[in-house]
A and B are shown apart, each in its own frame.
Chain A
Amino acid sequence: MYVRWDAVVNRAADAAIASCSSAARLASSSGSIHADVQLFGALASLSAERRIRLALPSGATVADMLVTLGDRLGQPLLAHVLDHAGRKHRHCRLFVDGYPIEDVNTRLDTRAEPTQIEIILLIAPEGG
Chain B
Amino acid sequence: MNVFNRQQFQSPMTSAKKDDAWVPSSCALCYGTCSILAHRVDGVVVKIEGNPESAVGKGRLCGKGVSGIMTQYDPNRLRYPLRRTNPKKGLYEDPGWKRISWDEALDEIATVLRKVRADDPRKLVVQRTTTVTASRVPMHTFATAFGTPNFSVSGGGQHCGNGAHLISGIMHASWSVVPDFEYCNYSIFFGASKGHSAGHASCSNMGKAADARVRGMKMVVVDPLCNFAAAKATEWVPIRVGTDAALALGMCNVMVNELGIFDGPYLQAKTNAPYLVGPDKLHVRDKTSNAPLVWDTRQNCARPYMDVPAADAALEGEFTIDGVSCRPAFHCLREHLRKFTPDWVEHASSVPAATVRRLAKEFATEARIGSTIVVDGVTLPYRPVAAIAFRGAQGHRNSVYNFFAIDLLNHLVGAADVVGSCLGFNPTSHGHPETGKVRYIPTAGPDGLMVVGSWMGYHYPYPPPEPRLPQNLGLQDLFVIGMTSPFLDSTDREELWQKFELPYRPEVMVNYGANLVMSIANKDAVAASLEKYKFIVSFDLFLNETSSFADIVLPDCGYLQSLDSRSNFPFIFSLPGGLGDWCWPIRQPALPPDGEQRNFADVLLELADRVGFRADVNAAYNAWLDLEPPYRLAGDNRYSYQDICDAELKNNFGAERGLDWFKEHGLIKWKKKPEEVYWRPFVDVRVPIYWEFLRSIGDKIAAIAEPRGVKIPSEYYDPLPDFLPCRSHCCDKSGFDFYGFYYRDVVHTNSFTMENPWLDEAARLDPFSYTIAINAGEARRRGLSDGQTVEVESETGRKVKGRLKLTEGIHPEGLGFAAMCGHWADTLPIAKGKGVFYNDLLDLDWEHASPTNLNLDLCVKVRVMPAEAVS
Binding site for B on A (CB under 8 A): 1-11, 14-15, 38, 40-42, 44-45, 83-84, 89-91, 93, 95, 97-100, 118, 120-128
Contact = CB atoms under 8 A, between A and B. Distances in A.
Contacts of B381: 3-5
- Top-8 shortest CB links A-B: A127-B157, A126-B457, A128-B130, A91-B458, A127-B484, A124-B459, A11-B684, A40-B619
A41 B147 contact: yes
Contacts of B825: none
A42 B149 contact: yes
Given A2-B379, A9-B684, A124 B268 contact: no
B633 to A, nearest CB: 10
Interface in B579-629: 615-616, 619-620, 622-624, 626, 628-629
B140 A5 contact: no
Interface stretch (B158-166, B252-260, B330-338, B703-711): B158-166
A4 B380 CA distance: 7
B476 interface: yes
A108 B140 CA distance: 29
Given A40-B615, A44-B147, A120-B619, A84 B466 contact: yes
Interface string B437-467: 0000101100000000001111110000110
Given A4-B681, A44-B147, A123-B149, A95 B622 contact: yes
Interface in B146-173: 146-149, 151-153, 156-158, 160-162, 165
14 contacts: A3-B381, A10-B684, A42-B121, A42-B149, A99-B628, A122-B457, A123-B144, A124-B476, A126-B455, A127-B157, A127-B165, A127-B483, A128-B157, A128-B456
Contacts of A8: 269, 681-684
B628 A5 contact: no
B379 A122 contact: no
Contact of A125 (B265, B268, B484, B682): B484
Contacts of A7: 681
B478 to A, nearest CB: 12
B619 A38 contact: yes
A3 B161 contact: no
A93 B140 CA distance: 14
Nearest to A99: B628
A65 B219 CA distance: 56
Contacts of A97: 629
Interface string B34-77: 00000000000000000000000000000000000000000000
A52 B414 CA distance: 52
Contacts of A91: 457-459
A48 B153 CA distance: 32
Contacts of A95: 622-623
B474 interface: yes
A10 B476 CA distance: 36
A41 B311 CA distance: 50
A89 B459 CA distance: 10
Given A123-B149, A127-B162, 13 more contacts: A3-B380, A4-B681, A6-B265, A14-B443, A40-B619, A44-B147, A90-B460, A93-B623, A122-B457, A122-B458, A124-B458, A126-B153, A128-B484
Contacts of B443: 11, 14-15
Nearest to A84: B466
B266 A5 contact: yes
Q: Is the interface of A mostly helix, strand, loop or mixed?
A: loop
Contacts of B162: 127
Contacts of B145: 40-41
Contacts of A11: 443-444, 683-685
A38 to B, nearest CB: 7
B861 interface: no
A10 B682 CA distance: 8
Interface in B263-320: 265-266, 268-270, 309-311
A75 to B, nearest CB: 15
Contacts of A40: 145, 615-616, 619-620
Given A41-B144, A41-B145, A124 B457 contact: yes
A59 to B, nearest CB: 24
A6 B441 CA distance: 19
B161 A128 contact: yes
B136 interface: yes
A127 B153 contact: yes
Contacts of A98: 622, 628-629, 632
Contact of A42 (B133, B140, B148, B379): B148
B485 interface: yes
A89 B457 CA distance: 13
B265 A5 contact: yes
A122 B456 contact: no
Contacts of B689: none
A6 B311 contact: yes
Interface string B115-152: 00100010000000010010010001001111111011
Contact of B161 (A14, A44, A89, A127): A127
